[in-house]
Amino acid sequence: MAGDVTFGFAEWAGPLMLVSGTNVTFNGNGHTLFGQGDLYWDGLGGNGGVTKPAPFIRVNNAGSFSNVRILNAPERSIAVKGSPVTISGITIDNSLGDLPNSRSNGLPAGHNTDGFGISNANNVIIQNSSVHNQDDCLAVNGGTNITFQNNVCVGGHGISIGSIASNVVVNNVHITGNTVMNNTNGLRIKTDATATASTVSNIVYTNNKLLGITQFGVLIDQSYPDTLGTPGTGVV
């Protein structure tokens, strides 16, 4: 990138940006992608209200994606399906969404503003990045050989495996050297209560620091979307 980019307001499904291909190198050179999420936020995220383009960025490329600032994503920030891909030096700043606005009925205006979401991707490295948001910092919904290392997560729901739906495989995930601050949860594995024929295995947590966690430091829960409800039996 040679400069900043501001995306105009429009109610549609998204994504606002797609990076796709083989051996693609994307370098933001420290520039900013302005999502103007403050024009969309209503405290509902993807659960109603204004239609919000999501994700902001879909990374489908094999290669690298680095050195860019994402400011005020309308909803989910980066969805990853590329294999193999290394993502580094990313700043996701949805901190303005912590505050209520005229449409959010006193709730934080930002909602469902996940940082990184991984599904059906293999050989993914996400490193040296920061996320301030109102949902999961990382959500691994499917994939193998995934590393999430040396990142900082502020204000959201923590680092999550899941939620795991039916017919999903998650294997060999390394969560290493991250700092999770002022999140509701620190490290979490969540599986849908109704999920069947899915497996979660070889999840390794090493040298992660949890500060100011308001609910659970570590949570393994098979009753999503409930918390500590009746567990399902379809994920092993």
Mean pLDDT score, 15-43: 98
- The correct CATH number of 5-224 out of 1.20.1050.10, 3.40.50.300, 2.60.120.590, 2.160.20.10 is 2.160.20.10
pLDDT at 82: 81
Q: How far apart are CA 209 and CA 91, in angstroms?
A: 19
* pTM of structure: 0.97
The pLDDT confidence band at residue 99, using thresholds 50, 70 and 90, is very high
Q: Is 147 strand, coil or helix?
A: strand
Residue 134 has pLDDT above 90, yes or no: yes
pLDDT (tens digit per residue) in 67-85: 999 999 999 999 999 899 9
Just list the catalytic residues.
Answer: 157
Cα angle: 147, vertex 153, 6; to 5 degrees: 100
Q: Which amino acid is residue 72, in one-letter code?
A: N
